[in-house]
Amino acid sequence: MQKLNNKLGYLSSLPMLAIFAMAFFAPLIVVALFSIMPPKVFSLSNAPDFSAYAVFFQQGYYKSLLWSLGMALASTLVLLVVCWPLAFGMAKVFKGFTLVLTIAVVMSLFVSENIRLFGWVLTLMKGGLIEGHIRAWTGNGFDSPLYGVPIIISGLVYVYLPFMLFPLAQGISMVPDDARQAAADLGATRWQIFTQIDIPLAAPGIVVGCLLSFVLAAGAVAEAKILGGQAVITIADDIETAFTFGQDWPLGSALSVILIVIIGSLALFGVSRVDLDKIMGRKR
């Protein structure tokens, strides 16, 4: 009976698998094929040409990739530190207030990312909301923090906070209170409880939150453009330029493939270390 149910389950999933293959894999295959086309060509009928990948190193596009990955890593680490106490409170302390906090965080996603970032520009710019009022009250202003790497990382933290917070809260909620209390009764310090119980048992939520935050931040472009004023060019910006203004589809495709391979490898490695059934509350 179990084998019959499994077979029926596989058969019933085939339509969705076909749709998923067409919607997800087909565009990736097309992008991969265009990446081996000659420059300035919009046809798939030409012989393979890997010159676009050589351009990645020759023209310094790897620097944009390193900037994107570096800022994504920095923002992910900051998010992990910032979200841990909030996620712990949501999972273990706030009780009924957790719903209010969840709604407050989710409501920020209802507003366009660009609108929220432009709001920060108007707030932090020279003569903006903060500096303008300080100058009016004291006669002295301050240099705007805009148009630099730190403000870009801050923008990434601000935009992608929910994607770290909720998986982290889910992971922390899986840590049994009995285990923490037993460790305390046996004389464990708070640091020992944190490092030897909280982190290992909440690891699935930590991994998922870090993966979501890192992957989204690595492909972000609005933060660098709006808050950074393109002081740093990200790989996503180079991809957009290659496909639009440059009209060099093979180059844009090659840059996309490189980013997809790196991010995909990291994501697959992270997912392979996570028990998704446990996160979803399913028993084997």
Number of domains in the chain: 1
- Determine, yes or no, domain membership for 3: no
271 — pLDDT class (breaks 50, 70, 90): confident
Q: In which domain, by residue range, is 173 found?
A: 58-279
**What is the distance between the alpha carbons of residues 30 and 27, in angstroms, rounded to a whole number?**
5
pTM of the model: 0.82
Q: Where is 203: in which H helix or E strand?
A: helix 203-218
191: domain CATH number is: 1.10.3720.10
- Determine, yes or no, domain membership for 7: no
How many distinct helices (H) and strands (E) make up the chain?
16, 0
213 CA to centre of own chain: 3
pLDDT value at 80 more than 70: yes
**What is the distance between the alpha carbons of residues 150 and 143, in angstroms, rounded to a whole number?**
14
214 — pLDDT class (breaks 50, 70, 90): very high
Q: What pLDDT is recorded for position 258?
A: 92
Mean pLDDT of 60-65: 89
- Determine, yes or no, domain membership for 31: no
Q: Which of 142, 159, 129, 144 is nearest to 224 (CA)?
A: 159
The residue with greater pLDDT, 55 or 246, is: 55
44 — pLDDT class (breaks 50, 70, 90): low
The length of the chain, given as a count of residues: 284
16 CA to centre of own chain: 26
- For residue 231, the SS3 value is coil
> 150-199 pLDDT, tens per residue?
899 999 999 999 999 988 988 888 888 888 888 888 888 888 888 888 88
> 104-131 pLDDT, tens per residue?
788 888 888 888 888 888 888 877 777 7
**What is the distance between the alpha carbons of residues 231 and 239, in angstroms, rounded to a whole number?**
17
How many other β-carbons are positioned within 10 Å of the β-carbon of residue 275?
13
